Structure formats: structure tokens, C-alpha cells
Amino acid sequence: MARVGVLVGDGYEDSEFEIPRDCLANAGHDVIVLGVATGALAHGKRGASRARVDQAAGDCHPEDFDALVIPGGHAPDHLRLDPDVVGFVRAFVNSGRPVAAICHGPQLLIEADVVRGRRLTSWPSVRTDLVNAGARWEDAEVVEDGHLITSRKPDDLDAFCRALLQRI
């Protein structure tokens, strides 16, 4: 089965972490929580969820994983300030392995400078940032462009998880 990294930081959207994590685990995949520091505890923005970081993203290599999931919430905006996280995301996208980002997750893709010429979706407030970074934004529950999978919001999680599972 696949080894999938899920990238979190404080303020992640609870459901956008928990539902893909559970979906992947229930399908038999190995889910590894990634973040800034190994052992750190990240809290969901709604206070209903906590996640312990299994590995620091800066200590990882894309070839260690079969796919990467980037939940939304406030975490991507915080994580985009960490050069190790941004470097890992950039290398992962450039590896050609599946990357699934939902809601505000594409903020990390923008910071990694990997959206130019790509079709993506996101939470509406990220639209202008994506367009300014050279992406073509679409209002759809799932947009797939090559190995990039993006969704808009928690209501899209079923379609997001289906698309991710089909890729891995």
C-alpha cells in the first residue's frame, strides 16, 4: 500500500485533516503526519482535533512517500513561512508524485512557486493569489491537473478523497 504524508501545522481545518487521514488509513495506506518539527502537537482551528507530527518535513524526501496531502485552514499560511516546509513541497510537486491540497492548502503551492500554468481550485479567498501566481482558477469541487488535485472546502471532501484514492 501507499505511504502518504499529510502536512499539518497549528490551525489546520479539522475535517480536512481527519477525513482524508481516516479515508487513507481505512483503505490500508500508511499515513505519516508531517510538520515543522518531529513530535510537535498541532491543533485544529476548531479545537476538535490534534495531530502529533511524526516527521519534520525538512527531514523528508519526496521519494519517501507516494503522495502528499495539504489540508487547509490557517496552517498553510503559517507553514509557508518555513523554508524547509516550502522546499519539501516544491520538491514533492517537482517529483511528479500526487499532491492533494484543499481549501487554503494551495497557499503552500503558491509559496513553492509550482502553480504557474496549472489548473487549480481553492477556497474563494485564495483565488486571486493563485491567479496572480499564474494559475488558472476553476470553481469546481475537484480540479485535477496532472498529479495535482485540489478542492475548495470541507463540503468537497468526499470528491477530494475519491480523487486522491484513484491516484494512489
Residues labelled catalytic: 103
- Assess contact for 12 and 75: CB atoms under 8 A: yes
- Strand, helix or coil at 126? helix
Which distant-in-sequence residues (6+ apart) come within 8 Å of 34 by Cβ? 5, 6, 7, 8, 53, 54, 55, 56, 57, 60, 68, 88
Identity of the amino acid at 106 = P
A 10 A CB-CB count for 158 gives 13
Sign of CA dihedral 53, 55, 60, 63: negative
